[in-house]
Amino acid sequence: MGPIMAIKSTSADNKTRSSVQIFIVFSLCCFFYILGAWQRSGFGKGDSIALQMTNSGADCNIVPSLNFETHHAGESSISGSSAKVKTFEPCDALYTDYTPCQDQRRAMTFPRDSMIYRERHCAPESEKLRCLVPAPKGYVTPFSWPKSRDYVPYANAPYKALTVEKAIQNWIQYEGEVFRFPGGGTQFPQGADKYIDQLASVIPMGNGTVRTALDTGCGVASWGAYLWSRNVRAMSFAPRDSHEAQVQFALERGVPAVIGVLGTIKLPYPTRAFDMAHCSRCLIPWGANDGMYLMEVDRVLRPGGYWILSGPPINWKINYKAWQRPKEELQEEQRKIEEAAKLLCWEKKYEHGEIAIWQKRVNDDACRSRQDDPRANFCKTDDTDDVWYKKMEACITPYPETSSSDEVAGGNFRLSLTDLTQCLLGSLAVPSLVSRSMPMKTITDSGRNM
């Protein structure tokens, strides 16, 4: 009996020990899973780092998570040769806000007509910089989405001008070493969500019909930021103007954006790329140059897509006093917009308050009347996607041919945000794009002049 009892006792002990070990392993797994999820959420760590570094004025080198060293050896490692690797030294700290081909002092030497001075103008060979633009002092890893939609560390974009100038419009607020973005805007004082709700009462955003959008003159891109929750991806752009580059705030928030302007050069996007285009008090003279800017929007807008104009001159009869502009000037501006939209065969779907929405026809059959209109100047090029550094023209991009009156011209093709990003960073690489994920960038000023 003795040996049998001993065997049973040992077996019981082994089972107990095994159960304890499983419990310990399970507990550790749960602990580290929760810890990892908390760290990835962006709460706590980013705030404390931003506050610590801003208060101490310390170098960004104290942040262990930021590594500016290259992680590949370049061509020399592939070929196995002993060729000398080219290195770039950091630029002077004065160049923290420098963007290739967007030098503010140089820009002011170009004509102001048609926003030429806000377009890209690259320096001559003798003046090109070949160094790494440093991050702002105290730069930290941006917060993760969705927290980044509403908060950006002050150390990453230390510019307070907009918090004063746009204070009553709720664009951006400075709160305890972070910027907060309440979702306000000049044309949506109740917040971007309420504004988008109003647009969604006309535009089908909930069923996948609208998936991509272009935001012209985006500011800090709150419209694009709040569209994410509607499964709509916006590409935003704004010029580098008297403010600091506002798109830098957009990028720190995690919203796709580039420095750009509607001037004399075509937008760097293929034809029929967007389901929706938007201007909220973007200050673009839509009726100027024979409606050329609206024709460019028409080019990138898919058949059946929507164009939204929010702000002057919409409903000018009621708002001209608040806008402090002459009635006659606003009336003429709206007249030109309406004429251009009619020539493009856009149908006005909505006008209320300071918002107007037009819809592009789905094919040319729905717009036969303009074929005989002497004002309708159709573009002659065979390749409507050949837009890189091409001059904008006051001409209408023809619809692709269709076999029936209800067929969508060009098919149901819509460019995804991934495709847009690849276009932007690949064959249509824009050197003036400010990278959210790379606080230091190599400056070679290698772009072509505009």
- DSSP per-residue letters across 279-328: EES----TTSGGGHHHHHHHHHEEEEEEEEEESTTTTHHHHHHHHT--HH
* pLDDT tens-digit readout, 251-281: 999 999 999 999 999 999 999 999 999 999 9
- For position 12, what pLDDT does the model report? 53
Residue 373 domain-assigned?
Answer: yes
The Cα 223–Cα 237 span in angstroms is: 12
Residue 46 domain-assigned?
Answer: no
Among 200-204, 306-310, 357-361, 384-388, which is the least confidently predicted range? Answer: 384-388
Of 443 and 353, the structure prediction assigns the larger pLDDT to 353
Q: Is the sign of the CA dihedral 71, 73, 78, 80 positive or negative?
A: negative
User: Is residue 3 very low, low, confident or very high in pLDDT (cuts 50, 70, 90)?
Assistant: very low
Count the residues in the chain.
450
Among 10-14, 152-156, 215-219, which is the least confidently predicted range? Answer: 10-14
Which tokens sit at 380? 């002659």
User: Is residue 450 very low, low, confident or very high in pLDDT (cuts 50, 70, 90)?
Assistant: very low
The alpha-helical segments, DSSP class H, found in 151-189 are: 161-165
Residue 66 domain-assigned?
Answer: no
Phi, psi of 325 (to 5 degrees): -135, 150
Is 108 buried (19+), middle (13-18) or exposed (0-12) by CB count in 10 A?
A: exposed
Residue 405 domain-assigned?
Answer: yes
Of 71 and 152, the structure prediction assigns the larger pLDDT to 152
3-state secondary structure of 154: helix
Neighbouring C-beta atoms of residue 35, cutoff 10 Å: 10
- For position 383, what pLDDT does the model report? 82
Q: Over 90: is that where the pLDDT of 285 sits?
A: yes
The Cα 336–Cα 291 span in angstroms is: 7
Run of H or E including 106:
helix 104-107
Of 6 and 223, the structure prediction assigns the larger pLDDT to 223
- One-letter identity of residue 154: Y
| pLDDT > 90 in the chain, percent | 46
3-state helix, strand, coil in the chain (%, to 5): 40, 15, 50
Average pLDDT, the chain: 80
CATH number for the domain spanning 367: value is 3.40.50.150
- For position 382, what pLDDT does the model report? 77
Q: Over 60: is that where the pLDDT of 154 sits?
A: yes
- For position 394, what pLDDT does the model report? 93
The Cα 420–Cα 235 span in angstroms is: 8
Q: Over 50: is that where the pLDDT of 60 sits?
A: no
- One-letter identity of residue 417: L
Residue 389 domain-assigned?
Answer: yes
Residue 165 domain-assigned?
Answer: no
Task: Name 251's bridge partners.
Answer: none
Among 45-59, 150-164, 265-279, which is the least confidently predicted range? Answer: 45-59
183 and 192 Cβ atoms separated by less than 8 Å: yes
Cα atoms in the 13 Å half-sphere on the side-chain side of 79: 8
- For position 7, what pLDDT does the model report? 41
Residue 18 domain-assigned?
Answer: no
Q: Over 60: is that where the pLDDT of 137 sits?
A: yes
Q: Span 225-233, mean pLDDT? A: 95
Q: Span 55-84, mean pLDDT? A: 52
Which tokens sit at 61? 């080198």
Residue span of the structural domain in which 252 resides: 189-438
- For position 73, what pLDDT does the model report? 52
Number of structural domains (the chain) is: 1
Residue 49 domain-assigned?
Answer: no
Q: Span 386-394, mean pLDDT? A: 92
Run of H or E including 277:
strand 274-280
The alpha-helical segments, DSSP class H, found in 41-99 are: 45-56, 75-79
Q: Is the sign of the CA dihedral 157, 159, 162, 168 positive or negative?
A: positive
The Cα 306–Cα 304 span in angstroms is: 7
User: Is residue 140 very low, low, confident or very high in pLDDT (cuts 50, 70, 90)?
Assistant: very high
